[in-house]
Amino acid sequence: MAVKRDQADIWFSKAVRLRDQKCMHCHKTDRLECSHIYGRANKRVRWAMSNCIALCHACHRYMTSNPVAHFDFLNDLLGEEHMDKLRMDRNEIYKTNKLLRKDIAAHYRDEVRRKELDPDYEIQSWN
């Protein structure tokens, strides 16, 4: 069953793609997608910038189909310490509601706008 996307997901995805501006695997700049390290079903890290990278459509499909290669790539790209912290974070129980998701959407909408106005601005994660 697919996880439903709402405005928090849409603005978060835009923020990730704007932050990276290219596929972190092949460096292409077209058809970018927000690739979650730990899937969107995990609410604790669903909207964490540390849990996502931009991948082009082809690389996203490849990584999804090849979990060992995906893990090795992420470990090389982000480092073991990053991956260990993310693994710990994702284990926390976290519940959301409509109001919280609305706040997350507003945060990332504002972050996207700041980045669009100032290319040197570093997008801040919601959590």
pLDDT per position as a tens digit, 64-101 = 999 999 999 999 999 999 999 999 999 888 888 999 99
Is position 62 within any domain? yes
- Total of domains in the chain: 1
Task: Please indicate, yes or no, whether the overall pTM of this predicted structure exceeds 0.75.
Answer: yes
Is position 1 within any domain? no
Domain span including residue 52: 7-115
* Torsional class of 100: left (φ above 0), alpha (ψ -120 to 50), beta (otherwise): alpha
Is position 19 within any domain? yes
Is position 94 within any domain? yes
Burial of 117 (0-12, 13-18, 19+ CB in 10 A): exposed
Is position 127 within any domain? no
pLDDT tens digits in sequence order for the chain, 127 residues long: 566 789 999 999 999 999 999 999 999 999 999 999 999 989 999 999 999 999 999 999 999 999 999 999 999 999 999 999 999 999 888 888 999 999 999 999 999 999 999 999 999 999 7
